[in-house]
Amino acid sequence: MPDSVAPRQWTIMNNRLGVDMDNFQKEIDERANLALSNKFELLLFRLGAAYQDEQPELFGINVFKLREIVPMTNITRAAGMKSPLLGMANIRGQLIPVIDLPAVAGCTPETGLNLLLVTEYARSTQAFAVESVEDIVRLDWNQVRAAESGVSTRNITSIACLDNQNKMAMVLDVEQILHDIIPSVREVKEGDIDAKSFRLRANAVAIVAEDSKVARQMLEQGLKAMGIPAMMYNTGLEAWVKIKQMYQEAQAEGVSIHDKIGLILTDLEMPEMDGFTLTRNIKSDPNLKNIPVVIHSSLSGSANEDHVRKVGANGYVAKFEIKQLSAVISKVLEDAEL
């Protein structure tokens, strides 16, 4: 059962307004430290009913991606702007796009769009209009399951099990939503990656752990342009099982693990096992610790970069900087000299 935190959405909002910045910074530090124990906090919210007389479903977003919660404000709609973009809002002097999240999810709010969730993803800022905010819960990543096999919508990345009574929340694939709305800033374009030789052994592959469908597609394109064959996995746990399996195969064949795996590229937020835990498992294993690990995440900031160093990752790149990712991969492979 999750360690439920009393409703604090208005506390978060007040802290963002500057009421108590010391406590706010303390909360941020505490949330960042959760990552080192395979835990995170999920903001729960509702978008309305998907069908008539249906109980509105719960949705969730990682609190660490939340910059603030504000009441609905004036929105300026630009010419030619279409749903689900509502327009632009001026929030603390910054003009940011506002996305109608119920429209994206196919829901109808019963009381209207009342709140804006201002989020930071991949070095971009946007606001998601929602009907209501419910709570914040603290979860272990093993309470989260990949949704692709059982959920048809393209905008859900995973399902969070909130308690033992089958209460669940659908975790949105914000990367997919932003890609669908603003695809031009997410595509891998010709010329984004320099034509260079990446130092990988002849039959070695990259193991990629990433739960977002659109991010996996982009990484596949990018690694293909680098000439790096890749094996893609939806969760950190799936990747970890495969890594251990490949080590056993290497032992049986009398070859080095580096003949099998040349690079591990991992997201941070993933069902079952997050990227910090995956990296720590690899770097604490004497048989695997020399495999280069690059973390590729939409979670940015000094706290996360500090954790990257603590778990021993060889590189860290914020999504979706393909040129930077290419440069980091090239460097860590060169430094490894395996």
> The domain that contains 56 carries what CATH number?
2.40.50.180
**Do residue 111 and residue 168 come from a single domain?**
yes
Give me the mean pLDDT over the 108-129 stretch.
88
Cα–Cα distance measured from residue 270 to residue 211, given in angstroms and rounded to the nearest whole number = 6
Look at residue 10 and tell me whether its pLDDT is greater than 50. no
Angle at 27 between CA 23 and CA 33, to 5 degrees: 140
Predicted model pTM: 0.74
Name the pLDDT band for 54 (thresholds 50, 70, 90): low
17 located within any domain: no
Token pair recorded at residue 16: 């963002």
Name the pLDDT band for 201 (thresholds 50, 70, 90): confident
Please state the domain count of the chain.
2
Give the pLDDT score at 16: 39
**Do residue 165 and residue 228 come from a single domain?**
no
**Do residue 99 and residue 220 come from a single domain?**
no
Give the pLDDT score at 22: 46
Asked if residue 320 has a cis previous peptide bond (ω within 30° of 0), the answer is yes
Per-residue pLDDT reduced to its tens digit, 55-82: 678 899 888 778 889 999 999 987 778 8
**Do residue 147 and residue 219 come from a single domain?**
no
76 located within any domain: yes
Tell me if 307 sits within 8 A of 273, measured CB to CB.
no
Give the pLDDT score at 8: 42
262 located within any domain: yes
H/E run at residue 31: helix 21-34
Give the pLDDT score at 197: 62
Q: What are the E-state strand segments in 74-189?
A: 85-91, 94-100, 115-121, 124-130, 132-140, 144-146, 156-161, 168-172
Per-residue pLDDT reduced to its tens digit, 170-192: 998 888 888 888 755 455 555 65
Residue 85 pairs with which residues in a beta bridge?
99
Domain that holds residue 58: 38-184
Cα–Cα distance measured from residue 181 to residue 133, given in angstroms and rounded to the nearest whole number = 24
200 located within any domain: no
Q: Which range (16-20, 48-52, 98-102, 234-238) has the least confidence?
A: 16-20
pLDDT > 90: percent of the chain: 33
pLDDT top residue among 11 and 197: 197
9 located within any domain: no
**Do residue 252 and residue 114 come from a single domain?**
no
Give the pLDDT score at 301: 54
φ, ψ of residue 309 in degrees (nearest 5): -65, -40
**Do residue 297 and residue 223 come from a single domain?**
yes
Give the pLDDT score at 259: 94
Give the pLDDT score at 179: 81
Give me the mean pLDDT over the 91-101 stretch.
92
319 located within any domain: yes
Tell me if 314 sits within 8 A of 332, measured CB to CB.
yes
pLDDT top residue among 101 and 38: 101
Q: Which residues of 123-144 are buried (b: 16+ CB within 10 A; e: fewer)?
A: ebebbbbbbbbbbbbbbbbbbb
Q: Closest Cα partner for 116 from 89, 138, 136?
A: 89
287 located within any domain: yes
Give me the mean pLDDT over the 44-53 stretch.
77
**Do residue 168 and residue 291 come from a single domain?**
no
Last residue of a domain, one of 129, 152, 184: 184
Name the pLDDT band for 294 (thresholds 50, 70, 90): very high
The count of other CB atoms within 10 Å of the CB of residue 189 is 9
Q: Which range (40-49, 185-194, 264-273) has the least confidence?
A: 185-194
Report the amino acid identity of residue 56.
P
Q: Which range (5-19, 130-144, 219-233, 289-303) has the least confidence?
A: 5-19
Give me the mean pLDDT over the 196-213 stretch.
84
Q: Which range (238-252, 280-294, 301-315) has the least confidence?
A: 301-315
Q: What is the mean pLDDT of the chain?
A: 80
**Do residue 49 and residue 143 come from a single domain?**
yes
**Do residue 76 and residue 153 come from a single domain?**
yes
Enumerate helices (H) and strands (E) in the chain, giving the number of each.
9, 17
Give me the mean pLDDT over the 272-284 stretch.
90
44 located within any domain: yes
